[in-house]
Chains A and B, each alone.
Chain A
Amino acid sequence: MTATGQACIVGIGETAYCRKPGSGLSQMALQLKAALAAIADAGLKASQIDGIMPFPNLGKAEALAANLGCADLRFAATINMGGAAPVASLRMAAMAVTSGAADYVLVPGGWNGYSGERVRETSAGDDDSIPGAQIARDYYMPYGYTAPPQWYALMARRHMHEFGTTAEQLGAVALAMRGHAQLNPAAMMCGKPMTMADYLASPMISDPYRLLDCCLETDGAAAFVVTSAERARDLAQRPVKVLGAAAGQPYPADEITNRREFHRIGLTSAAAEAFRQAGVTPGDADFAEIYDCFTFEVIQQIEEAGFCARGEGGAFVENGGISLGGRLPVNTHGGLLSHAHSLGLGHVVEAVRQLRGVAGARQVKDAEIGVVTGWGDFGDGSIAILGR
Chain B
Amino acid sequence: MKDPFIGCKRPLPLMKGLAKEFYDWCRQGELRFQRCKQCGSFRHVPREICADCSSFDWEWVRSSGAGTVYTWTVVERALHPAFLQAVPYAPVVVEMAEGVRLVSRIIDCPPEDLRIGMPVRVEFEAVSEDISLPCFRRT
Interface membership of B44, Cβ < 8 A: yes
Q: Chain A, 110-148, contact with B by CB distance < 8 Å: what is the 0/1 string?
A: 000000000011000100000000110111111111110
Q: For residue A272, give the distance in angstroms from its CB to the closest CB of chain B.
A: 23
Q: Chain B, 75-110, contact with A by CB distance < 8 Å: what is the 0/1 string?
A: 111111111001001011100000011111100000
Q: For residue B84, give the distance in angstroms from its CB to the closest CB of chain A.
A: 10
Interface membership of B11, Cβ < 8 A: yes
| Chain B, range 31-90, C-beta contacts under 8 Å to A | 43-45, 51, 70-83, 86, 89
Q: For residue B131, give the distance in angstroms from its CB to the closest CB of chain A.
A: 8
Complex-state Cα separation, A121 to B77, whole angstroms: 11
Known: A121-B81, A158-B116. A139 touches B102 (CB 8 A): yes
Contact yes or no, A145 B71, CB < 8 A: no
Complex-state Cα separation, A361 to B74, whole angstroms: 40
Size of A's binding interface in residues, CB under 8 A: 35
Set of chain A residues within 8 Å of B102, measured between Cβ atoms: 139, 257
Set of chain B residues within 8 Å of A140, measured between Cβ atoms: 91, 103
Which listed residue (A125, A135, A137, A257) contacts B93, Cβ 8 A?
A257
Interface membership of B126, Cβ < 8 A: no
Complex-state Cα separation, A214 to B74, whole angstroms: 15
Interface membership of B137, Cβ < 8 A: no
Residue of chain B at shortest CB distance from A151:
B73
Q: Which of A40-48, A57-65, A199-207, A363-371 contacts B (4 or more CB under 8 A)?
A: A199-207
Range of interface residues on B (Cβ < 8 Å): 35 or more
Interface membership of A150, Cβ < 8 A: yes
Contact yes or no, A258 B73, CB < 8 A: no
Q: Chain A, 281-324, contact with B by CB distance < 8 Å: what is the 0/1 string?
A: 00000000000000000000000000000000000000000000
Interface membership of A359, Cβ < 8 A: no
Complex-state Cα separation, A255 to B101, whole angstroms: 11
Residue of chain B at shortest CB distance from A124:
B80
Complex-state Cα separation, A283 to B91, whole angstroms: 38
Interface membership of B7, Cβ < 8 A: no
Set of chain A residues within 8 Å of B74, measured between Cβ atoms: 204, 206-207
Contact yes or no, B71 A157, CB < 8 A: yes
Set of chain B residues within 8 Å of A144, measured between Cβ atoms: 5, 10, 75, 78, 80, 82-83, 86, 89, 91
Complex-state Cα separation, A139 to B46, whole angstroms: 10
Interface membership of B133, Cβ < 8 A: yes
Contacts A/B (CB < 8 Å), 6 sampled? A135-B45, A139-B13, A158-B116, A204-B74, A257-B103, A258-B44
Q: Which 3 pairs between the two chains have the least Cβ-Cβ distance?
A: A153-B73, A147-B79, A145-B91
